[in-house]
């Protein structure tokens, strides 16, 4: 492992690059080689507090900027993302490991939220009621909260930050972003592009760090709201700690997403969907399909007959090989954790149909690769069924009936996403209404809503009252104010000391 060639990254505060001063740093890997390629400074409490102070100082001026001007900056940012797409994708792939096409797709999904934020003038419009009483009018407005913060995961270093800061900033807030320390280069680049787009210094700040940085954001009274995407264990901690410190919190957490396959499903369509949904981005996404529930033995057998050859032909390799269909997982620790779950599945008695352990990629023998894995005959008490593995491991559960399958999905502690594949409209409608999951796909394997809708799960997949982006994003990053107004007039006079229904106050 050659550290002589590594570079050390920086923070981005007040519109400029700021070197780390804590003396602590974390390693950033090239997942395809397993080598450390960069180091990232881990901010101290004082460094995070300095970023918060910068955002706090910038807030009054930014909040006073007209919404139309804020929208124009978002239009500029949108254009810069398009112009720098290759550069952004390279920064994602080099540190996360996903293929370039996958990286560009994730950036595009983030770009959709930026485009939604470009309509902020319309989104912030309030309501108006004339003559709620004699000579009295009433209206509402949505105003920014102040300093907001985002804590984002490693699996989407471009998309998830863009689900947060564009909406928060367009609404008139300032923002402190704490990206994953595993792949922070793209978020830092996004901050530079925001400055280039015309964003005033201090409105968007990026501090790299670990738990010390997170805890500072959670407890500092100047931070009004926290957005988080990550594991349920950490998300629950962030939600409870943040709310105990009187902050608004949205915490989008873990998942175990099921695809229900009915006997009448188009099996070619099912297999195409499974390949992308289970193994895209090496399974490192909260909307990955990690469980397929088949109704009936014949359905399972038909699917496995078509699926196995496709999995065996899947090309695993580095993002620099444009023929690669699936890259490595993010770090050696992630590889070892996923392999440990495969070991556990074997121990617990599941049928290992395709083993991804020990895969070797020529020229990248020390890379963090795990091959596409399939378990059949999985039971609901097995850890590979209950836990979010976050890797390319698919579990197939054979259900006796549609009702058994629905009950199984509803009983799981997570409620992020699910899908049903069927030609039966009645079954699809029943499933959509009865299933206790936040996002549902009908013959759509990864039902991530577009930016003008909101993203969020149920049960232990979401802590807080607001989903992310879309209309929910506007509500989360603003507070409602209602004004009731009456002007003095010589036409009427006299004090009133009680409320009169339908009359004056």
What pLDDT score was predicted for residue 1? 43
Q: What is the pLDDT of residues 261-312, one digit of tens each?
A: 999 999 999 999 999 999 999 999 999 999 999 999 999 999 999 999 999 9
Of 478, 456, 449, 412, give the one whose Cα is nearest residue 250: 456
Question: CA dist 326 to 200, 370, 402, 422, Å?
Answer: 39, 10, 32, 28
Q: pLDDT band at 505, cuts 50/70/90?
A: very low
What pLDDT score was predicted for residue 453? 85
Reply yes or no on whether the pLDDT at 484 is more than 80.
Answer: yes
CA dihedral 415, 418, 420, 426 (to 10 degrees): 40
- Locate tokens 């297999």: which residue? 271
Q: What is the pLDDT of residues 222-235, one digit of tens each?
A: 999 999 999 999 99
Q: What is the pLDDT of residues 105-161, one digit of tens each?
A: 999 999 999 999 999 999 999 999 999 998 899 999 999 999 999 999 999 999 999
Q: What is the C-alpha to C-alpha distance for residues 231 and 364, in angstroms, rounded to an integer?
A: 29
pLDDT, average across residues 437-466: 89
* CA dihedral sign, ordered 438, 442, 446, 452: negative
Contact (CB, 8 A) for 435 and 418:
yes
Of 222, 200, 206, 171, give the one whose Cα is nearest residue 56: 222
pLDDT, average across residues 320-338: 94
Reply yes or no on whether the pLDDT at 381 is more than 90.
Answer: yes
Share in percent of the chain as helix, strand, coil (round to 5): 40, 25, 40
% of the chain at pLDDT higher than 90: 88
Contact (CB, 8 A) for 250 and 228:
yes
Reply yes or no on whether the pLDDT at 461 is more than 90.
Answer: no
Q: pTM value? A: 0.92
Q: Which tokens go with 261?
A: 């396959």
Contact (CB, 8 A) for 448 and 286:
no
Taken in order of first residue, the domains within the chain and their CATH numbers are: 7-253+461-482 (3.40.605.10), 257-442 (3.40.309.10)
Q: What is the pLDDT of residues 19-43, one digit of tens each?
A: 999 999 999 999 999 999 999 999 9
Q: In degrees rounded to 5, what are phi and psi of residue 335?
A: -60, -45
What pLDDT score was predicted for residue 497? 58
Q: pLDDT band at 496, cuts 50/70/90?
A: low
Q: What is the C-alpha to C-alpha distance for residues 205 and 50, in angstroms, rounded to an integer?
A: 10
DSSP output for 15-58: TEEE---SS-EEEEEETTTTEEEEEEE---HHHHHHHHHHHHHH
Q: pLDDT band at 489, cuts 50/70/90?
A: confident
Contact (CB, 8 A) for 478 and 171:
yes
User: What integer best gives the mean pLDDT of the chain?
Assistant: 94
Contact (CB, 8 A) for 312 and 326:
no
Reply yes or no on whether the pLDDT at 493 is more than 60.
Answer: no
What pLDDT score was predicted for residue 465? 87
- Residue 286 is a catalytic residue: yes
Catalytic residue among 118, 148, 171, 286: 286
- For residue 459, the cross-strand partners are 414
Count of Cβ atoms closer than 10 Å to residue 298 Cβ:
10
């Amino acid at each position: 492992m050659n550290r002589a060639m590594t570079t050390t990254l920086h923070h981005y505060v007040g519109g400029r690059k700021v070197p780390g001063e804590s003396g602590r740093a974390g390693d950033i890997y090239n997942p395809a080689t397993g080598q450390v390629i960069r180091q990232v400074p881990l901010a101290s409490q004082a460094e995070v507090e300095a970023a918060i102070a910068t955002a706090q100082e910038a807030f009054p001026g930014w909040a006073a900027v007209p919404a139309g001007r804020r929208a124009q900056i978002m239009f500029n940012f949108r254009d810069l993302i398009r112009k720098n797409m290759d550069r952004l994708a390279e920064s994602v792939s080099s540190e996360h490991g996903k293929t370039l096409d996958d990286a560009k797709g994730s950036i595009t999904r983030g770009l959709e939220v930026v485009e939604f934020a470009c309509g902020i003038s319309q989104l912030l419009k309030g309501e108006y009621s004339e003559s709620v009483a004699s000579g009295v009018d009433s209206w509402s407005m949505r105003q920014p909260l102040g300093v907001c913060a985002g804590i984002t995961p490693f699996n989407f270093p471009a998309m998830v930050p863009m689900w947060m800061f564009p909406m928060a900033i367009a609404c008139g807030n300032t923002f402190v972003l704490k990206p994953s320390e595993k792949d922070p280069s793209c978020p830092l680049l996004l901050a530079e592009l925001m400055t280039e787009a015309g964003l005033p210094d201090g409105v968007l700040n990026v501090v790299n760090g670990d738990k010390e940085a997170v805890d500072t954001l959670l407890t500092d009274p100047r931070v009004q709201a926290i957005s988080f995407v990550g594991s349920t264990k950490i998300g629950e901690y962030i939600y409870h700690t943040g709310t105990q410190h009187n902050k608004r919190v949205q915490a989008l957490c873990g998942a175990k997403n099921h695809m229900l396959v009915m006997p009448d499903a188009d099996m070619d369509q099912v297999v195409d969907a499974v390949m992308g949904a289970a193994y895209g981005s090496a399974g490192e996404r909260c909307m990955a399909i990690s469980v397929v529930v088949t109704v009936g033995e014949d359905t399972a057998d038909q699917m496995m007959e078509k699926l196995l050859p496709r999995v065996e032909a899947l090309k695993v390799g580095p993002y620099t090989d444009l023929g690669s269909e699936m890259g490595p997982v993010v770090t050696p620790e992630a590889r070892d954790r996923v392999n440990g779950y495969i070991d556990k599945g074997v121990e617990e008695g599941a049928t290992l149909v395709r083993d991804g352990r020990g895969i070797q990629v020529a020229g990248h023998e020390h890379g963090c690769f795990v091959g596409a894995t399939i378990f059949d005959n999985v039971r609901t008490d097995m850890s590979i069924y209950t836990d979010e593995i976050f890797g390319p491991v698919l579990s197939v559960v054979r259900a006796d009936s549609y009702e058994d399958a629905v009950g199984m999905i509803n009983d799981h502690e997570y409620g992020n996403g699910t899908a049903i594949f069927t030609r039966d409209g009645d079954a699809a409608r029943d499933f959509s209404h009865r299933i206790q999951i936040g996002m549902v796909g009908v013959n759509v394997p990864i039902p991530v809503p577009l930016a003008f809708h909101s993203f969020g799960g149920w049960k232990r997949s979401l802590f807080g009252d607001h989903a992310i982006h879309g209309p929910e994003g506007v509500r989360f990053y603003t507070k409602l104010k209602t004004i009731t107004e009456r002007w003095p007039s010589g036409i009427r006079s006299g004090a009133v000391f009680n409320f009169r229904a339908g009359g004056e106050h």
